[in-house]
Structure 1
Amino acid sequence: MNAEFPSGLSAAEAAARRAAEGPNELGTEQKRTLQAIAVEVAREPMFLLLLGAGAIYAAMGDIHEAMILLGFVFVIMAVTILQERRTENTLEALRDLSSPRALVIRDGTPQRISGREVVRDDIVILTEGDRVPADGEVLQAHELATDESMLTGESVAVAKFAGDGAMFAGTMVVRGQGLMRVTAVGGKTELGRIGKSLKDIAIESSPLHDEVGLLTRRLAMIGVGLCLMLSSLYWILRGGWLEGLLAGITLAMGILPQEFPVIMIVFLAMGARRIAQQRVLTRRLNAIETLGETTVLCVDKTGTLTQNRMTVTTLSVGGKCLDAHALPGDNLPEEYHELLEYAVLASEIDPHDPMEQAFHRFARNYLANTEHLHPDWALAREYELSPALLAMSHLWQDHNGQHDVVAAKGAVEAIADLCHLEGSELEEVMQQAEDLAKRGLRVLGIARAEHSANASWPAIQHDFDFRLVGLIGLADPLRDEVPAAIAECRRAGIRVVMITGDHPRTARAIAAAAGIDGDEVLTGAELAGMTTSELARRIAGVNVFARVTPQQKLAIVEALKANGEIVAMTGDGVNDAPALKSAHIGIAMGKRGTDVAREAASLVLLEDDFSAIVSAIRLGRRIFANLRQALIYTLAVHVPIIGLSILPLLLGLPLVLAPIHIAFLELVIDPACSVVFEAEKGSDKLMEQPPRSPAERLVSSRQLVTSLVLGLLTSAVTAGIYSWLISHGKAAEEARALAFVVLVAANTALIFACRAREPGWHKLFDGLARTSILVIAATLTGLAIVTLVPSICAAFAFRPPPLQEWLQAFLIGIGMMALFVIAQNLLQKKGEGTMSFPGNTK
């Protein structure tokens, strides 16, 4: 490809064009506008019930009560809309970060930008594995071909030539390199026109969403039934159908778990944001659900476990080895010059591969100003690496000699095959390679050949008469944090499997240094000869795979899944996409990964760092544990609302709760169940327990028992206090205020009980987040205002009680924390409620 790049647009020109023509978006993503969110919130049953209650108050002539209730409706709607909008902004930011990237030339300099930032007339640099960001025309091409099957249905790659080839947005570069000028973006591209028809396609929900939705619908049906029953009972016992309907609406509002969807949205969106802080982008939110279930983590060696910065360590010629680290200054013995010369000739001119970059760096240091570097030679033909032959060759022309020069590099056994080595000569070379591999080095063979300048080029590499030049050993040091991260995975019951294209000896050495059990190594050649059932059987005890092709990664993933494992898989190449998509959690490399790998994956690592994967799994477990605790709390706080709606009627007492009280409680419950529990740091023991079983329910029967017990305790104490006050001559308004103080204080105590990682007093206040303190403080401040300020008390049908009695009621509510702890300890001992604490996953 021509080294002279066009200068491209200036930053100012690009900004002006984007402002005029809009971003490069296909318009197929289903984004929720502020108006759409408001409409969705207004349709929620809770708000419809509040509006219905306000209408009944107005029909009864109580306009003041109706207006106050309507005010609460708008306050709750505003809080809900604000929270959902914030969540949508979080998701939008993540969408921007995880969108396909494009390498464009701006102000004469290549720059990596988001695909949505590409504008018309941008110059885009394309390489193998890239997703074409927009429609355009080819300016330069070097063996360039694209897969256009997504547009045409034709699976054969389409070759592209400079000045005679159109590129289309969304297609994939499967071979070569090139430059293109963008001619159309966004909806004006061929893919954009097709994409307009996709706007109405619904997004498939995840299993966790389905489970929460089912739980919500069941509770809603129960709420409707009890609402009708209570309304009828009130009408029969006390008369007045409007008052009965109000009582029924109050009960329905108490049962309806409208917080569940809020919890799901907040936890998954904020969880994705927290994971993004670990430099891991979440492309599919349901991956967060699966992280805690991961039992096997399949990882590449290069760049994930290692630093992905290869260095030339050893040179071997004629059986004699040279330690590159021991070289004085820039003095390389002459006998090793040819080996390094042909290693460079067998590499790309402008390499991206770490090994080829290492060859070029080493050559610049030791071959500068010698005849062994050939900047004036022309690369005439490339013979690419293939699954059948793990070697590649370059044919060079110097236009002065009678022979073209061919340089080859690749796996030692492949180079030995090209050189037709046999007998003792082959045995000696393979022993040298094995000795180097035992030291954890990546070993490549280097060969050379000559070809008549006037003869036609052979179709395959085997038709050249190659001669072995020597071997080169390269080292890719292990990342410092890897051994500790793998040890953490082992403690968490997660099996780490390393898959590499390296020599088995190299793989075993790296596995040992990383802490992976690599006593047995399976090679790609062995995998190729196995049946599906045999592979599934053998794979159960093997953690290291060497000489594996990208296509064989898919077979490994499928075999692990067949054994019942929950598999997370890393990958970076075009051919890794099937394995990434097949794995339960596909993890693409952000820096060295291709666009097709990123699009097939659920998670994208911005830094190709193994410890980031472990951090994401830890966060996934924390998010699920906190989500579970939020639901347990939500179920528990609804029980006393139901009890206080029914018990007064059955006991012949004035009603405690009206719709306005439920509205206030909703303002308390929503932030508590979402913001407070989402901010929990989780147990320190989350990564010391086995992975969660996929069959484990979000809220089990044991957890449901815990919620009911805690809720019933709150109901009994609050109803008992209210009944006692009424029986001792306390006015209904004052008794109602004191009972409300007990209820809200007890709900606050319930937060501490539900967030405790383990039962016991010493765990109640551990790691309380600043956000949680603010929410609790705001709740208690609001409680004091509505029960002590006379003008506001009247709106709630309260009468301000004496301060001493208010404090006594508050202490009774907070003091219920002791009952909660006792109940949790008893349930723990009986084997019930074992799952009630975030630290427990079994």
Structure 2
Amino acid sequence: MNFMSKKRLGRQIQENKQDTEVKLRFYAFVAREELLAQLSTTQAGLSSEEAENRQDSFGKNVITVGNKNTVLHRVREAVVNPFNIILLLIAIITYFTDVVAASKPDYLTVTIILSLVLLSSLVAFVQSQRSNAAAEKLSKMISNKADVWRDGKLTEVPMDEIVPGDIVRLSAGDMLPADVRFLTTKDTFVAQAALTGESNPVEKFSDIRDKQDDGLTDIRNIGFMGSNIVSGSATAAVLATGNSTYFGSMAKSLSGDRAKTSFERGVDSVSRLLLRMMLVMVPIVFLINGLAKRDWAGALLFAISIAVGLTPEMLPVIMTSTLAKGAVSMSRHKVIVRTLGAIQTFGEMDILCTDKTGTLTEDKIVLEKYMDLHGEDDARILRHAYLNSYFQTGLKNLIDLAIINRAVQNGLQDMLDAYNLVDEIPFDFSRRRMSVVLADKSGKRQLITKGAVEEIIAISSFVEMHGRVWPMDEENRRMALATYEKYNADGLRMIAVAQKNEVPDSGAFSVSDERDMVLIGFVGFLDPPKESARSAISALREHGVRTVVLTGDSEGVAVKVCGKVGVNNSRLLTGRDIDRMDTAQLQEAADTCDLFAKLSPSQKERVVKAFQAAGHTVGYMGDGINDAPPLRQADVGISVDSAVDIAKETADIILLKKDLMVLEEGVIEGRRTFGNIIKYIKMAASGNFGNMISVIVASIFLPFLPMLPVQILTQNLLCDFSQMGIPFDSVDKEYIKKPHKWETRSIKSFMAFLGPLSSVFDILCFAIMWRVIGANTVELSPLFQCGWFVFGTVSQVLVIHMIRTAKLPFLQSNPSMPLFLSTFLVAVAALATGFTNISIGFDMQSLPLKFIPWLAVILAGYLLCVQLVKRLYIRRYGEWM
């Protein structure tokens, strides 16, 4: 993009942003009645018919930046890459040397080069189209939804179907589906870090509290797409959707280059390595041939052809097709990949941090006990817990549902008619409790609070035992904690219940009212461990993945569950322990601890950072609001389709089934995908390095070129075809037993072993052609070139089967059928070309039949030596691929 284009784009972005700000400011400062009139809506929302009409007018509620998903964009990406650019430059030079400056124009070399570009671009585009279709299909399986008032009733609709004028209901964990004006709020805190960079949540209100000249993001009755509800609840009117939102107006300026993943950095490093090899090789070959043979034009053409032969133009194609095939395969295991590059990181993962609930447990919480402070059953405790869970309007979690189910079983639902909800103080992860204010028929008010035991005890000044209220002295505190610890140690998840009657008769209630409470008892829940969890953790361990539990639950429950599923619980660290540690101490502690309990979201994030600082690739699996910070921090974020919006949006990988066994299958597929990519890269790198040595030796000692440009290009085309089956190849079970990282050093050492070996047998082929076959004059150079063409092509094709496995090929490890067919057909094509008159079309002379046994001997010797070198390499480095 030129300077003027950038300037115009910047001006357009600024104008769009200003228009959006003016519109949102107008909506922020009008009365509610006028707002609804301006939006042509009502408090009861739109009709379905009107919503459809508006979607036709406003379009889908999605932000599009530069239309990167168009067919034209994918064509451009398929054609414009470093390798194709090099090939096109070489084609231009060849056109001038072979056609424009030649006495007899020769179009064959230019045609083959352009065919290479066309072939790689066509395959890349087809794979891109398939990848895009697969990605769209997979993304539909995990689309976020919103609660919207339509036709007078609350309906769940996909977020992209939200239109201006919709009335949405929001609660903790929800993403704001559009720019909205809040109509009602209750302790509504919104995280706006994506827009403002401010880490602390901002409280939002439904009334007008701000001044006209305040910053737009500081206006407290407006919410923005791209933010999410941290706590509380609200209803809101949709003001703008898609590109018309504040986030949409900023999208072009916010869509700069993101940080590259380890996969992208690895591909870049390998590409640079191969390109550097080519840039070093071309001048050397050009100078040697020019000085030795005094044919500078021929030397230039030969050097250019070598450059084409060394260019791994199929690298983008192999990458795209392998990743796309991996994504589709993972989807069959109920694992949806949101970004293709995450597949490699998934396979590289060696630490899996996971929450306990739902992954290690059945996610079916059952209320087991309701007891007073002495541990005796007391139905009054269940009644108070039921009132709290039923009347709270926020996100009803599994604990609330378990309480409601037990109360209904006990026939308590009739008591609800005696109470009205006056107000509530929603749950948040710093307080770890929630409260409701109820009024009975006489108007008497009562505050009922339930939450984490320590937090409830901290706000309680009294205890109730046997119908009497006593001060919360040290003895009563110890007695209450002893009851809690006894049942917690048995594996029950304990929640404390408190209440008080001294509640103000009017006004809004807040956290400050949660004091001087009367602690009345506990409710205990059981979430049994999953039967599959122990075998899944064992399977992950066998594949080199250590499972670490990070939970907000109490120590007793965490220890009990982890013991049953096979997570090491011999050492336990709590949130308090972590707060007392500095970074170095936490990193050292994390090395030996697999169980962290009573953690806040920020503490979970710290633990993930500690593992990363120690050099681990960390996956984090979570599905709650409190999991968003560690999901962002992890190398690969994993969530489930039933997770809250912000968790799904943050994750790289979505599981359609909340089960660690599904995760283990995904890890295996990730490693299989990465293994096939590494196969191609190591083949290309070692083959190119060997060709460099062979060509330099041939250029020094032969009185003619070892191969003509057209022959090199044809050989390159055939070898590219033979590798098309790599993305579909199988991978040895031993390879997927442990994680693998991108290591350029490993690729270089592989080149150093395999490259010179192929050169030794190239030189042996030269000697046989020169002495045995007698192709030792300039006149017989076409025969010599045909011999090396056949040996070079067939050996490169067969060595694929040697390199693809650390075992004996075909005897201990079989290739996939697509790879077998692609290599078999190319080998047959090379032999047919060399031993028939087809060779004449490529300026070669057909080989005599007496070359066949020699060809078989040097091919067998080469493959045998590769197998021997493979063993030496594995003995030295401990791995092959």
Global fold match (TM > 0.5): yes
Contact 2:694 2:759 in 1 (8 A): no
Are 1:569 and 2:617 counterparts? Answer: no
Look up the SS of the partner of 2:591 in the other structure.
Answer: helix
**Could you list the per-position Cα deviations for residues 132-181 of structure 1 after superposition, in whole angstroms to 9, with x for gaps in the alignment?**
23234445555445344655677662524289944432232233333444
Are 1:751 and 2:792 counterparts? Answer: no
Supply the distance in 2 between the matched residues of 1:524 and 1:446 (Cα, whole angstroms): 23
Contact 1:488 1:687 in 2 (8 A): no
The residue number in structure 1 matching 2:249 is 193
Are 1:796 and 2:842 counterparts? Answer: yes
Alignment of 1:391-540 (within 5 A): 391-398=433-440, 400-417=441-458, 418=460, 419-420=462-463, 421-422=472-473, 425-451=476-502, 454=505, 460-468=512-520, 470-540=521-591
Look up the SS of the partner of 2:541 in the other structure.
Answer: helix
Displacement of 1:515: 0.3
Displacement of 1:751: 0.6
Look up the SS of the partner of 2:769 in the other structure.
Answer: helix
Look up the SS of the partner of 2:658 in the other structure.
Answer: coil
Are 1:159 and 2:204 counterparts? Answer: yes
Q: Give the one of 732, 737, 754 matched to 2:786.
A: 737
Look up the SS of the partner of 1:444 in the other structure.
Answer: strand
The residue number in structure 2 matching 1:234 is 289
Are 1:343 and 2:365 counterparts? Answer: no
Name the aligned partner's letter for residue 818 of structure 2. T
Contact 1:706 1:827 in 2 (8 A): no
Are 1:824 and 2:824 counterparts? Answer: no
Name the aligned partner's letter for residue 396 of structure 1. L
Displacement of 1:246: 1.4
The residue number in structure 1 matching 2:26 is none
Supply the distance in 2 between the matched residues of 1:636 and 1:805 (Cα, whole angstroms): 30
Q: Give the one of 62, 78, 87 matched to 1:46.
A: 87
Per mean C-alpha deviation after superposition, the further-off stretch among 580-589 and 493-502 is 580-589
Supply the distance in 2 between the matched residues of 1:203 and 1:549 (Cα, whole angstroms): 28
Contact 2:373 2:522 in 1 (8 A): no
Alignment of 1:111-510 (within 5 A): 115-138=159-182, 141-148=185-192, 150-151=194-195, 157-161=202-206, 165-198=221-254, 201-268=256-323, 270-283=325-338, 287-317=342-372, 319=374, 336=379, 338-347=380-389, 348-349=392-393, 351-367=395-411, 371-372=414-415, 374-375=416-417, 377-385=419-427, 389-398=431-440, 400-417=441-458, 418=460, 419-420=462-463, 421-422=472-473, 425-451=476-502, 454=505, 460-468=512-520, 470-510=521-561
The residue number in structure 2 matching 1:780 is 827
Supply the distance in 2 between the matched residues of 1:519 and 1:561 (Cα, whole angstroms): 23
The residue number in structure 2 matching 1:331 is none
Contact 1:788 1:800 in 2 (8 A): yes
Contact 1:637 1:747 in 2 (8 A): yes
TM-score (norm 2): 0.81
Displacement of 1:47: 3.6
Supply the distance in 1 between the matched residues of 2:289 and 2:749 (Cα, whole angstroms): 34
**Could you list the per-position Cα deviations for residues 313-339 of structure 1 after superposition, in whole angstroms to 9, with x for gaps in the alignment?**
2333464667xxxxxxxxxxxx52x33
Contact 1:580 1:600 in 2 (8 A): yes
Supply the distance in 1 between the matched residues of 2:585 and 2:402 (Cα, whole angstroms): 39
Supply the distance in 2 between the matched residues of 1:97 and 1:401 (Cα, whole angstroms): 56
Cα distance change of structure 1 residues 101 and 388 upon mapping to structure 2, 3 Å threshold = closer
The residue number in structure 2 matching 1:704 is 751
**Could you list the per-position Cα deviations for residues 762-790 of structure 1 after superposition, in whole angstroms to 9, with x for gaps in the alignment?**
33xx2422321232244235435644674
Contact 2:309 2:713 in 1 (8 A): no
Look up the SS of the partner of 2:529 in the other structure.
Answer: coil
Contact 2:263 2:345 in 1 (8 A): no
Displacement of 1:342: 1.6
**RMSD of equivalent CA atoms:** 3.9
Percent identity of paired positions between Structure 1 and Structure 2: 21
Cα distance change of structure 1 residues 62 and 707 upon mapping to structure 2, 3 Å threshold = farther
Supply the distance in 1 between the matched residues of 2:517 and 2:246 (Cα, whole angstroms): 48
Displacement of 1:526: 3.4
Name the aligned partner's letter for residue 192 of structure 1. G
Cα distance change of structure 1 residues 785 and 777 upon mapping to structure 2, 3 Å threshold = same
Name the aligned partner's letter for residue 130 of structure 1. D
Supply the distance in 1 between the matched residues of 2:372 and 2:64 (Cα, whole angstroms): 56
Supply the distance in 1 between the matched residues of 2:719 and 2:696 (Cα, whole angstroms): 20
Are 1:80 and 2:121 counterparts? Answer: yes
The residue number in structure 2 matching 1:332 is none
Look up the SS of the partner of 1:304 in the other structure.
Answer: coil
Displacement of 1:224: 3.7
Cα distance change of structure 1 residues 520 and 190 upon mapping to structure 2, 3 Å threshold = same
Look up the SS of the partner of 2:811 in the other structure.
Answer: helix
Supply the distance in 2 between the matched residues of 1:644 and 1:710 (Cα, whole angstroms): 10
Supply the distance in 2 between the matched residues of 1:747 and 1:228 (Cα, whole angstroms): 25
Gaps of 5+ in 1: 323-334
Contact 1:340 1:363 in 2 (8 A): yes
The residue number in structure 2 matching 1:768 is 815
The residue number in structure 2 matching 1:633 is 683
Contact 1:125 1:179 in 2 (8 A): yes
The residue number in structure 2 matching 1:618 is 668
Gaps of 5+ in 2: 1-41, 209-219, 464-471
Contact 1:55 1:66 in 2 (8 A): no
Contact 2:802 2:863 in 1 (8 A): no
Cα distance change of structure 1 residues 527 and 54 upon mapping to structure 2, 3 Å threshold = same
Alignment of 1:579-728 (within 5 A): 579-595=630-646, 597-639=647-689, 641-642=691-692, 645-652=695-702, 654-670=704-720, 672-673=722-723, 675-686=724-735, 688-689=737-738, 691-692=739-740, 696-697=743-744, 699-724=746-771, 726-727=773-774
Contact 2:262 2:345 in 1 (8 A): no
Displacement of 1:822: 4.0
Name the aligned partner's letter for residue 225 of structure 2. A
Q: Give the one of 24, 29, 41 matched to 2:62.
A: 24
Look up the SS of the partner of 2:573 in the other structure.
Answer: strand
TM-score (norm 1): 0.84
Contact 2:54 2:163 in 1 (8 A): no
Look up the SS of the partner of 1:27 in the other structure.
Answer: coil
Name the aligned partner's letter for residue 795 of structure 1. G
Supply the distance in 2 between the matched residues of 1:539 and 1:619 (Cα, whole angstroms): 28
Look up the SS of the partner of 2:766 in the other structure.
Answer: helix
Displacement of 1:483: 0.9
The residue number in structure 2 matching 1:101 is 144
Displacement of 1:353: 0.5
Cα distance change of structure 1 residues 351 and 566 upon mapping to structure 2, 3 Å threshold = closer
Per mean C-alpha deviation after superposition, the further-off stretch among 109-118 and 353-362 is 109-118
Q: Give the one of 587, 590, 597 matched to 1:546.
A: 597
